[in-house]
Amino acid sequence: MDEQAETYDPTRYERPSVTVDVVVFTLQDHELHVLLVKRKHWPYEGHWALPGGFINMNESIEQAARRELEEETGVRDIYLEQLYTFGEPRRDPRTRVISIAYIALVSADKQTLRVSDESIDVRWFSVQRLPGLLAFDHDLILATGLDRLRSKLEYTTLAFQLLPEVFSILELKYIYEQILGEELDKGNFYRKIKDANVLEDTGMRREGRGRPTTLYRFRRNRGDEQFVFRWREARVDEVES
């Protein structure tokens, strides 16, 4: 393509590589988990890393994130949102690599992992018990993702993305507690959720040891993935990396 009148710029001749990395969260055994792949090749061979890879010339950044995620882990059809772009000059020993990080949330009941040729292993890890230091600056990216998740949790319905189709209010409360790292009052939680009017009674009940649980479904009407209510005031510690 014609590039007349841009001759002054040196970087035209040397371009950084551009990758996407995805912080995929799910809930497993009542704990927040993140998806990691074990690297097969240098650099950081044998280390765990966030799934991700190079962007193709004819796909959008978000498409690249979806494609890489599916290729590397088999995970697809998920909630995805751009997180932050990391580009310190020496974050990758090979060359200058700028990485656009995404957050993804997958339902607790949709987890079919697949290992690609490019990695040794793919696994969910509790964010409380990571397998040592991650490759590159992926610890920073993960921390940034966690911050974002916590902060959006409080004024959006993001948390519903982590639940199975059908769930109880106390299970939802449990997610909030897990991610926020604090206990919430049961009564106030019920009130908030009910007032927000984002749940639909499925008519189903789940039997257990005590009183059966009412099972709900997330109302996917207005704006679909869009947040519908504010859980409580947003926190001040927004992402700033």
Least distance between a copy of itself and beta carbon 97 (Å): 10
Q: What is the x/- site pattern for DNA, positions 130-169, by CB under 7 A?
A: --------------------------------------xx
- Strands 97-105 and 119-126, sheet pairing: unpaired
CB nearer to DNA: give 115 or 180.
180
Please report whether residue 208 would count as binding DNA according to CB under 7 A. yes
- Check residue 181 and give left, alpha or beta (phi > 0: left; psi -120 to 50: alpha): left
- Window 171-200: residues binding DNA (CB under 7 A): 185-188, 190-192, 194
Tokens 């679909």: give the residue: 224
Please report whether residue 93 would count as binding a copy of itself according to CB under 8 A. yes
Closest among 132, 138, 159, 154 to 84, alpha carbons compared: 138
Using CB under 8 A, count the residues that bind a copy of itself: 53
Give the separation between CA 117 and CA 110, rounded to whole angstroms. Answer: 22
Q: Which of 88, 109, 121, 200 binds a copy of itself (CB under 8 A)?
A: 88
Give the separation between CA 187 and CA 160, rounded to whole angstroms. Answer: 19
Please list the residues that pair with 48 across neighbouring strands. Answer: 38
Binding footprint of DNA on the chain (CB under 7 A) = 168-170, 185-188, 190-192, 194, 207-214, 230, 232-233
